Structure 1
Amino acid sequence: MNIAYWTGYLLYRTIGIHLPKSYAKINLGGRSIRAFCARLMLAKVGKHINIEKGARFSASTEIGDYSGIGENSRLYGKVVLGDYVMMGRECFIYTYNHETSRTDIPMQRQGSTPQRPVKIGNDVWLGSRVTILPGVTIGDGAIVGASSVVTKDVPPYAVACGNPARVVKYRNKPRDELDQ
């Protein structure tokens, strides 16, 4: 972590995270300031990104062109957002979990599992309060419905929803093809 990262981090955590939403009538440049901070903090940041108020993300997050992180969302570990990703409010993306494999010691003392990155393709829409678990890939053009819990990969152009999320249709196929 270099001086640019720490400058961006301090600016983001003290000012940027608290500025009004990007589309507020009086936004005080929040969108621009948060994007500036992200460029200092992250290795890959596309053009015209939007990080909303209260969003938190790790230094290993990657954001593609025209993509955004929703208001009060949390991205833990290596999360790769493709281009044109829309994210609703309060989405949670995890790349590691608690270790639970041993029964001879408390789970609290077992540490965490190895990180498994989450990859989100291009032109994806994550509804509000979506939770994505470690190692999941969301294909290009997919939609994940609000409050869904994604435990396994979502194919390209699928519409998935529920807990656990399951594919209910495909955007690029007639509805009757799903049942076959």
Structure 2
Amino acid sequence: MIHKFWLMLFYGIANHLPDSYTMFLGRLSNKLRIIICKHIFKECGKVTTINRNIYFGNGKNVEIGDYSGIGSNCVLPNDIKIGKYVMMGPELYCLSYSHIIDNPDIPMCQQGGVRCSYSGICIGDDVWIGGKVIITKGRHIGNHSILGAGAVVTKDVPDYAVVGGNPAKILKMRK
């Protein structure tokens, strides 16, 4: 019951307040969202930023480490693990849903969909995720990596990799 109260407070009010970088009320709005998320998430470290218009389901299994931030307009699965010092740009979209496509005689839209019981998305420490990135289910993003803006991540990303493109490919290694 208390969990539902915090969810209603977040989605009903706090999620619509100004972004953290907005001159008036930005810092206060950010602090309020962080306080509320500490009551919702499974683990919530010393988070720096939780911007507006984000979605994380019921958030019960979301884990976020110290000094990490969630950009505005992000869609995260209920069970994502976000490490420490993660910078997340706006409009990150993490997939945890898929359509059934087994029978070619039935239109795909009529075969239904499958919500994954576990998205398996894990973002390591010291990761920079650019704007409008898509991460497919089951991906592991290695420590110290960079995901370029607009990347579509369909494979695991190793530590220290800089990736970009659709599908995302390693552009270079940082180390």
TM over 0.5: yes
Task: Spell out the pairing of 1:1-180 with structure 2 (5 A cutoff).
Answer: 3-27=1-25, 29-58=28-57, 59=59, 60-108=61-109, 109-112=111-114, 114=116, 115-172=118-175
1:131·1:147 contact (CA, 8 Å) conserved in 2? Answer: yes
2:113 aligned partner, one-letter code: G
Call closer, same or farther: CA 1:48–1:76 in 2, change over 3 Å.
closer
Q: What is the one-letter code of the residue matched to 1:76?
A: P
Q: Is the 8 A contact 2:142 2:157 kept in 1?
A: yes
SS of the equivalent of 1:112 reads strand
Letter in 2 for 1:98: H
Are the aligned partners of 1:90 and 1:129 in contact in 2 as well (CA < 8 Å)? yes
Alpha-carbon displacement from aligned partner over 1:61-107 (angstroms, at most 9, x marks no partner) = 21111111111111123211001110001110112322222324332
The one-letter code matched in structure 2 to 1:13 is Y
Could you tell me the TM-score, scaled by structure 1's length?
Answer: 0.88
- Secondary structure of the residue aligned to 2:66 is coil
| Offset at residue 113 of structure 1 (A) | 5.5
User: Could you tell me which residue of structure 2 aligns to residue 175 of structure 1?
Assistant: none
Q: What residue identity is the alignment partner of 1:35?
A: I
Asked whether the equivalents of residues 78 and 95 of structure 1 are also in contact (C-alpha less than 8 Å), the reply is no
Aligned-partner SS, 1:75: coil
Q: Read off the aligned partner of 1:133 and give its amino acid letter.
A: T
State the SS of the aligned residue for 1:54.
coil
Gap regions ≥5 residues in structure 1: 173-180
Aligned AA (2:52):
K
Distance 2:106 2:159 in 1: 41
Q: Is the 8 A contact 1:5 1:42 kept in 2?
A: no
Read off the aligned partner of 1:100 and give its amino acid letter. Answer: I
Q: In structure 1, the residue corresponding to 2:97 is in which secondary structure?
A: coil
Cα RMSD, aligned residues only = 1.4
